[in-house]
Amino acid sequence: MLEIKNTSQEYIGHHLYHLQLNLNTFLWMDTENTSSFWVLNVDSIFFATLLAILFLLIVGRVAKMATCGVPTKIQMFIELIILFVDSNVKDIFHGKNKLIAPLSMTIFVWVCLMNAMDLFPIDLLPYVAQLTLGLPFLRVVPSADINITSSIALNVFILIVYYNIYTNGIRGCIKGLICHPFNHPVWIPVNLILETISLLSKPVSLSLRLFGNMYSGELIFILISGLLPWWGQWALSLPWAIFHIVIIILQAFIFMVLTVIYLSTAHDPC
């Protein structure tokens, strides 16, 4: 248990702080008059990057050792994930784009791995970091950080706009914003407002849905650990962790499916 557990309030509050790097100091800005925009959540960036690297190393290793005969268990597991993602992409996306399937695979596995960090005991990694490196704060679930989910959603949004312009051209893209849903010049201002809101709501819905679900799941683990005695923690943490596995996979799947749907819509002619 962390040393900061003097009261339940301090314990819970401590687990909600990120290990941060204030860039205002490096940019020589007035820290008293600047917002937190220039502050990086180092722990979220570290674990998100670490999980991506581990995934690439493991998959790359399995790909090199793959055989046409009897596959290993890990090879079968990865092939099942690939087939699962590929079948869903074929059912949703009806165009031709070689990027969609790899992108969907990356999003599903990466988000799933980030979500799965919630299954570690809430005090384990922060305690190790405090004991070995003297770090005062550490949050280990990258998808419970709105900055991480927003950055992924923003990249998807950029692809949506790119493929919309690629398919319809700039003129067709603008036409789609001002001529739908009411195809009359009088309704152009209304169409522009409605379509702009619809377009901007896509990255917002992607980021907030994932963040909200994972943040609430992490908070429940913190509350269980901070408010209950040890025997109560075991009694509630285990069933919640088992149920949380479903949430971890489901949220990654929803993020992937919505990404494919949005990109499929972007490929439709206006």
Point out the residues that are catalytic.
205, 209, 213
CB 150 within 8 A of CB 203: yes
- Rounded Cα distance between 45 and 176, Å, is 37
> What DSSP state is assigned to residue 22?
E
Residue pair 207/146 in contact by the 8 Å Cβ criterion: yes
| DSSP tag of 40 | E
CA nearest to 244, candidates 116, 139, 126: 116
Closest CA to 258 of 72, 117, 93, 97: 93
Take residue 263 and report the two structure tokens written for it.
């990109």
Residues 186 and 242: their CA atoms lie apart, in Å, by 55
- Phi, psi dihedral angles at 190 (to 5 degrees): -65, -45
